Structure 1
């Protein structure tokens, strides 16, 4: 009889002392890699083993499975073998992905949608919902006081793969009603021996007109000796990115227009240039030690730092037709400019304004136009370190454990300065090239003499987060011949802290002794970046961002301030969240009519204790507010997988998940108005420490056909039922014997999301000659859902009913190429926008990207890629398409990368 673990007995006999030392160390440290990490490694190993066996079985003239094909095959194997509904993206080679960061690459996954702005993908939703848990190597990870990691902060050069779980097993960290994104970085034992790679990239952006460098590298090696086997890996990444996003906008349609109450039109129009420079530094490292085959210890870490300097160059033009008749008494405040006798035209067949021309009666009026310069300087960093171990006590019993520490902080300084202008005439069109066109005939908007200094706003804010996380897991293999094939259980104890605060009394109005704009020192006034399309006045003057930050103390004194704005006590919260979780899970298997069925059943118990601290406004005085709350949640999960044929799999998954509220939503502080508004109502706002976690009851039914090693057709029907969904809304409350209309986050009772996902992947190896290099990946997601609020069903904010990706692939010889197109249909961005009775709707978003690679030899290759080929626009509108709000344009990016590896 062969030993089930060949070589293990001899390893133990050769080095019994090492085993005793290691076991003693584990017991002393409480570290018996975490279960999700170990299982992620096992899944990768299984996928690679299947690939290798497939390669050995190929005929001599078969297409060699490397690069794109090998990555697709590995991802397909992981999906096929998983108990959960999962989609994976695997690196073609160590450190090689076609996208720059995790957020960007996730846009290619079935059911995942991303939004791009400020030079990169910056938000991710799964199946139309934001309720995600983000994991790094199976461990919870986050950015400052948030619940999730800002996924753009992880460069793809340090990744091994990404798993997007649509269902959640009992062993996984709780917190994702929509899904779980597990980002796995490389470890030294992922490679057979010494590995090194170096990536250099230069990218050009057309609207910012910049050329930015990016560089990354990794070294990894492993050694064997009397001490066992040791592996060490280290990776570094640097990315510099300038960007220019531009927006032209209309304010919401209102009336009366020039006294006519049947006509609607925007009271204001404007432009915004978002320009910035982001420098992102990242590092990861890992050490693995296997003194004997039964025992493995590891330590690994990840760090990132981001310096983001930006300027938002606003220009607001007031049309003036909403003003009352002019009287020559006193100064006129912002928003009350008086143009006389405006003339306008309507869109044919409507009462909506198309064009307008208006002129002021004389020069005694103020605030007809304003240039605003916001200058945010963001500084953030995040670190996570972990130590852990695996011990195979017997061939059937495995213990794993780890201890992790995560620290993250973020801070921002954002001064804002205004320049005011008094042009005599405005001409405007409300809908040209998708946005607002306007100009000021007779006024030179590039002359400092046309402006005067306006208000100054002194903003700052900061947040922090930290956690300590310990877990231990045990798995017992009961054998493939038993009904219950595996038993596992584990415990996780975590303590999380989060805090936030921002400034108070930050706004300072203009005063009589401010200097003239032309008298400011050199470098204080800058021309805005020109708009890429013709919107009339395409450039204007603004206060330079560098000037504001370099002279902030002098500017404060100029506005009669002494030093930095004090913190606002009501914005402060300090929360501590302690969680204790236990789970038990079994894998089972049986046959029905000759059809093998595999499955898992598990349950996770989670106790959450929350300690929240803040301040409330009591008679204009800050009074400390403190609350303690506790929740207990039981989260069952069931999966079943029927092997209908060798290549056809049916799945059913059902489970319960929770999503905890954002820490800021718990803020116990309240700000209460001391006088009623014009309707006689007292108003207030605050957080809600009594919020309950969102509960999601999730069901998935899938059919998956794997007709080739890199060929599959899959369909998944899903449904999510929600309880305690969180929305921010108004409600009447009695506080201190007085009725207040309070604006705070609240739980609503009911919500539901359902839909279908279809995915297809194939390489057409059967085609003759060079045609055999083509492949195609395509996926489609349909969703519909609602939240029941005040008896009304509204679709989820941000949910597109239809979304699809089409990726054409080619790989043959040294050449490989990729052409990708992404589409998502329109969605609602806000209901009852600003209380005006209509919704803010975003039009369909379409994105196209491409890349072309050539491999000089086994060690070196070059890639040319283009992002935003079609120069996409983002359009949203007030209720109906002929009432636009924004049209946004982004950089087209052309990148050239050189990659070396050995």
Structure 2
């Protein structure tokens, strides 16, 4: 190590620690994808372990220690980053990664299907997911479905708002890096076991979950060895419900200026999701200068679901009687008589998914100043689904409906028994299946040379990454089977065919109806196919089939520098990443004779991605940052598919549905700038503000447009690039434990954050909103920790947003419609008690407010969905040994 220079830097213990970590890094720094975040973690752990203050008696454990570590990672990092650190091995306040991220500044999530699902950063979906700094994904997608990672195997989660040159490219909105534990993270033997039971109110289920991890390390004549194994099992059964109205249209024949839905419906969804996950790691350090490792992670998910639809045509005719909302031309209530259509449809998808990743690599400290790392990664993921849809028709003669009662679509069939199987006839059969595969080989090598803290240029690093990625997809052909000319049996002649639907939790008129039983559908699938004139599973649809191959070659160079501006120390990094991407797209398009024609496209792009960071230590507690850089986001593989998928039945306006891809898509380019001011006034106290601006080129959106194919009109959903867009905003974050309060009051703490976003895309010369962008969002988390007791109460709110822009193009006077989502608010709570140092219990409640999801057609008085979800109560026991 270089001798200590004289002057300001020699007196900084934090800088000494950082320099030591940079040279003598252990297993946590095996690739340079997150080098400085991991350096910050090492500093954070040492600072968090120190006493809080000579005048306090607060013990730094659990929640406080995790908050200190997360705060110090943010403070010491070069990039704009937010981290969540485990309170202890595998202990987080939520059960999967996606749920945790919902409380990070600038991050929003959706919760449906029994758990948190999609994750967006600063209102945008263009993020990259990493596992221990490595690219990871689900099947043919670009990103990992983050709910698939249980928190029990994690050490921390890093959310990057900016990207350094050494990081894997691909996130214009940000990067989520999930870090698992390794054996050298522990001093010796360590083990834990967590068991949990969840009670859900709407599904009325009680489900078990169990996870465990063991780790050990040994000193031998051949060096230090370490091994770690972790396993997780989760069962989750859930219930979601929705009531909905179709878009307003000119259905009132006597007055075309009046708008009303053509039909309404109820949807009950229930599912059973079984998730298995495991991770393992081996480390060998034969000397202080060499370390080798192998580690991996796997997950498997079996997800059986049932979606029970009742679709009610409102029977608009000359005799329909209706009322209007006062002062509008919108229908409020309607009563129709005649030969009505009521469709019972049961979708029963069964999904199987698995992902595996393994890595081998090593680190060699060639000298005190020179470090070399190398790593090879293999990833494989697949997903497949069978989703038969079986339908029956009921034949009521009268319907009464209100377009907005109890918050949603309300309708009933007076005098008609919807629970009598003799009132139903068999309808269409939709025989769906699909599958996708993804795999990659990924090698990278990195070199870091430390020049010493006394120089302006203190460190130089560079590296190369070679990756080959493959993705494929296919689904069935001719999935729609109508009623054959020979007819179908009576519903009452098939034993075990029908079941009562799940009851709706809220009052929306008709509460239950009959559906074809989920068990019957899968047990009799081949026999049902024969009844509709088909033998076995159909061949793939050639228009759905694609096989894509993507080769990536990336080089980067980076320097870390430092100087003084007067009495203010300045640190910074300057780097550039050059990425060449060669994409080979193979699929099929349709010619004028309705025949498949092979399509083969080769595309090659080279992107230069510069990045600059500056960090000024204005005082020991006040830091200013500036980050600027360029990032790219590649389109989803499926978006390149030149084929189309066409629906078989029209809607009430006689228009069919369809979707397709676009082999000419370009990657999204983002030019990002962040300016931050951060005040760290206590070991667990901070106030931060960040102003940011992103400019985009070739942003990808999906939009609907009417197309005529084979003489029929289709409302086609396709991806396309728009010329440009921009997003700007500000983030505020606050964290503090009130240690200065007397006695038990000193256990209270708070975390809060707020994000303001403003942006638009330019499409055809017109400014349009980003889909999913809420202008305002905030989180407030109340914390308490005193002795063996800790508690948390979290509230999350985000303002309304456009889910889909121009998702229905209708004739005047209705015109184009956006699908808008009302503000979403969620509250969760937990309380933990540590019986001994090795045994603790946690009781938590998710969805305290019994939230609803409400979206609407353009204006709030034209609702589409009202959705309700389970309230979940969980009891967890944690045991350390």
TM-score, length basis structure 1: 0.91
Distance 1:813 1:685 in 2: 58
CA contact (8 A) 1:626 1:668 kept: no
Sort the Cα spacing of 1:433 and 1:743 in 2 relative to 1 into closer, same or farther, 3 A.
Answer: closer
Is 1:659 the counterpart of 2:633? The answer is yes
Would you say how many aligned residue pairs link Structure 1 and Structure 2?
A: 844
Q: What is the aligned partner in structure 2 of residue 42 from structure 1? A: 39
Q: What is the aligned partner in structure 1 of residue 809 from structure 2? A: 835
Distance 2:394 2:707 in 1: 44
- How far is the alpha carbon of 1:671 from its aligned partner? 8.2
TM-score, length basis structure 2: 0.93
Is 1:401 the counterpart of 2:382? The answer is no
Q: What is the aligned partner in structure 2 of residue 376 from structure 1? A: 349
Sort the Cα spacing of 1:455 and 1:405 in 2 relative to 1 into closer, same or farther, 3 A.
Answer: same
Unmatched 5+ stretches in structure 2: 5-28, 648-652, 811-815
Distance 1:261 1:732 in 2: 22
Q: Which of 416, 429, 441 is the aligned partner of 2:389?
A: 416
Q: What is the aligned partner in structure 2 of residue 386 from structure 1? A: 359
CA contact (8 A) 2:704 2:806 kept: no
Is 1:274 the counterpart of 2:269? The answer is yes
Distance 2:728 2:161 in 1: 13
Q: What is the aligned partner in structure 2 of residue 781 from structure 1? A: 755
Is 1:582 the counterpart of 2:555? The answer is yes
Q: What is the aligned partner in structure 1 of residue 532 from structure 2? A: 559
- How far is the alpha carbon of 1:669 from its aligned partner? 3.9
Q: Deviations over 1:211-233 (max 9, x none)?
A: 00000000001111211111110
- 1:832 alignment partner, SS class: strand
- How far is the alpha carbon of 1:378 from its aligned partner? 0.3
Q: What is the aligned partner in structure 1 of residue 308 from structure 2? A: 313
Q: What is the aligned partner in structure 1 of residue 63 from structure 2? A: 68
CA contact (8 A) 2:249 2:260 kept: yes
Q: What is the aligned partner in structure 2 of residue 791 from structure 1? A: 765
- Give the alignment's Cα RMSD to 1 decimal: 2.4
Is 1:767 the counterpart of 2:762? The answer is no
CA contact (8 A) 1:256 1:262 kept: no
CA contact (8 A) 1:249 1:269 kept: yes
Distance 1:372 1:125 in 2: 32
- 2:483 alignment partner, SS class: coil
Distance 1:863 1:686 in 2: 47
Q: What is the aligned partner in structure 2 of residue 874 from structure 1? A: 853
Sort the Cα spacing of 1:699 and 1:376 in 2 relative to 1 into closer, same or farther, 3 A.
Answer: same
Distance 1:669 1:876 in 2: 31
Q: Which of 832, 855, 862 is the aligned partner of 1:853?
A: 832
Q: Which of 124, 127, 140 is the aligned partner of 1:145?
A: 140
Q: Deviations over 1:437-485 (max 9, x none)?
A: 1111111111111111110000000000000000000001111110001
- How far is the alpha carbon of 1:43 from its aligned partner? 2.9
Q: What is the aligned partner in structure 2 of residue 328 from structure 1? A: none
Is 1:608 the counterpart of 2:611? The answer is no
Distance 1:672 1:319 in 2: 26
CA contact (8 A) 1:617 1:671 kept: no
- 2:521 alignment partner, SS class: helix
Sort the Cα spacing of 1:2 and 1:130 in 2 relative to 1 into closer, same or farther, 3 A.
Answer: closer
CA contact (8 A) 2:2 2:452 kept: no
Is 1:79 the counterpart of 2:53? The answer is no
CA contact (8 A) 1:627 1:668 kept: no
Q: Deviations over 1:575-604 (max 9, x none)?
A: 000000000000000011110000000000
Is 1:112 the counterpart of 2:128? The answer is no
Q: What is the aligned partner in structure 2 of residue 232 from structure 1? A: 227
- 1:98 alignment partner, SS class: coil
Is 1:97 the counterpart of 2:75? The answer is no
- How far is the alpha carbon of 1:191 from its aligned partner? 1.1
Distance 1:58 1:771 in 2: 17
Is 1:348 the counterpart of 2:320? The answer is no
Distance 1:761 1:140 in 2: 31
Is 1:123 the counterpart of 2:118? The answer is yes
Distance 2:600 2:61 in 1: 59
Sort the Cα spacing of 1:490 and 1:447 in 2 relative to 1 into closer, same or farther, 3 A.
Answer: same
Q: What is the aligned partner in structure 1 of residue 335 from structure 2? A: 357
- 1:408 alignment partner, SS class: strand
- 1:169 alignment partner, SS class: coil
- How far is the alpha carbon of 1:60 from its aligned partner? 7.6
- 1:100 alignment partner, SS class: coil
Sort the Cα spacing of 1:669 and 1:839 in 2 relative to 1 into closer, same or farther, 3 A.
Answer: closer
Q: What is the aligned partner in structure 2 of residue 204 from structure 1? A: 199
Q: What is the aligned partner in structure 2 of residue 245 from structure 1? A: 240
Q: Deviations over 1:244-272 (max 9, x none)?
A: 00000111111232522222111111100
Distance 1:453 1:232 in 2: 59
Is 1:176 the counterpart of 2:171? The answer is yes
Sort the Cα spacing of 1:851 and 1:742 in 2 relative to 1 into closer, same or farther, 3 A.
Answer: closer
Unmatched 5+ stretches in structure 1: 5-31, 324-339, 674-678
Q: What is the aligned partner in structure 2 of residue 620 from structure 1? A: 594
